[in-house]
Amino acid sequence: MYLTKEEERVLRGDEGEVKARALKVIVKVGEIFGAERLVNVSHAHVSGISYFNIRKYGVEFLEDLVNNGAKFSVFTTANPYAAYYLSFNGKGFSKNVINNQERIINALISMGARAFTCAPYHIRRPKVGEHLAWAESNAVLYANSVLGARTNREGGPLALLEAIVGRAPYCGMHVDEERYPSILIKVPKPSSLSEAAVIGYLTGRMSPSKIPYVEGLGGVPEEWLKAFLAGVGTSSSAPMVFLEGITPDCRRVRKDNIQERVRLSEEDVRSFIKEHSPPQEAAGNRLYVIGCPHVSKEEIREITLHVRETYSNTHNEELWIITGCFSLPCSKIPAKSNSKVKIVEGVCPVVTRLDLLGVEEVVTDSAKALHYLSRLAHVKSFIMDRKEILKRFGVRLHG
């Protein structure tokens, strides 16, 4: 691999052992994927920071980096962490969970993390053609597909090292020749955010590894595109989607040249939603979750402007509305909340052992959360439209 004089200096250890080790790993990964050089990145995003995911060895790894002087050399954000400071019906986490999750957060802040969210484009919106080093499937897809930026679907540890060095292998989505679709999928136009999420999830199933060209989403709200792409990223390893009339790269793609063509029907979408809809009455303690991916400041304002003074009297149920931590330190006191409705920052219920809080069922408007909650949070999961969830708790959207 060709390295610049500055990169050779880093590799020799002229800028410290941590940077040298980080760059050595990045170069090896690049060589595996056939990269001939590295590329400067302006924004890195680190994933995999829940204590329930990385446990004590992850904590020790991050603190070892800090103790050896590791600092992020580019603008860096990180994924949300476990909801360690929250309780459900008065039940919270153990001191061990709280302590270790705080150690992870503090280590990342010490290295220079600016915010904690799974939607880093809410914190800093990349420009067309900008090179990034992002780990987090929904963010990668949004950056490549909507914003026209360039990032591979990095693993969390690699993105961490790329944040330290400010370099990534020049391959994959960084290169024009790799950014082409190989399957065309016609999808029905969604009528709600949750429908958009399900359409994305089913689209990903139809294209589990290929980059798809998708027709049918022109004119849908940006929040729905976010939900759609999060769904795609859950069921597919594709790093981007060509959205007709939306993706900047669409201008150089001739869809007539795409040979493989499939269609997603409205019936497929309805059947999936029916299959995964919750029963009218909860079988156990039920949590409702909005914010996978995190809701934006605009979405929060749209919701909180219309929170009523009185809430649903449902028993053993809570609503968590999740948003990013846009400035440090993150707030641990839920805004506009009571025992039933909480608007919280910086956390992710999906990577939280909700069963340890006594939660038995989760209802969400996200296909991504629906998929992962049963696997990672150890609870039953169902899908419901956002407006219906809010209505249940006496909350309504503007308009």
Rounded CA separation 302/214 (Å): 29
As a CATH number, domain 278-392 is 3.40.50
310: confidence class by pLDDT, cuts 50, 70, 90: very low
pLDDT reported for residue 309 = 46
Rounded CA separation 285/358 (Å): 7
Mean predicted confidence (pLDDT) in 211-234: 97
pLDDT reported for residue 284 = 86
Q: Which two tokens stand for residue 397?
A: 């959207």
Q: Is residue 33 scored above 80 in pLDDT?
A: yes
pLDDT reported for residue 332 = 81
pLDDT reported for residue 337 = 56
pLDDT reported for residue 300 = 86
- Least confident range of 31-35, 86-90, 371-375: 86-90
In the chain, where does the domain assigned CATH 3.40.50 lie? 278-392
As a CATH number, domain 5-175 is 3.30.499
pTM of structure:
0.95
Q: Which long-range contacts (CB under 8 A, 24 or more apart) does 305-309 make?
A: 305/398, 306/395, 306/396, 306/397, 306/398, 307/336, 307/341, 307/394, 307/395, 308/394, 308/395
pLDDT reported for residue 98 = 97
- The residues, any chain, with a CB within 8 Å of residue 290's CB and separated by 6 or more, are 319, 320, 321, 322, 364, 365, 366, 386, 389, 390
Q: Which amino acid is located at 28 in the chain?
A: K
Mean predicted confidence (pLDDT) in 95-104: 98
In the chain, where does the domain assigned CATH 3.30.499 lie? 5-175
Rounded CA separation 254/103 (Å): 50
Mean predicted confidence (pLDDT) in 344-363: 97
**At 106, is the secondary structure helix, strand, or coil?**
helix
Mean predicted confidence (pLDDT) in 112-131: 97
Q: Is residue 308 scored above 80 in pLDDT?
A: no
396: confidence class by pLDDT, cuts 50, 70, 90: low
Q: Is residue 311 scored above 60 in pLDDT?
A: no
- The residues, any chain, with a CB within 8 Å of residue 144's CB and separated by 6 or more, are 150, 151, 173, 179, 239, 240, 241, 247
- Least confident range of 212-221, 250-259, 299-308: 299-308
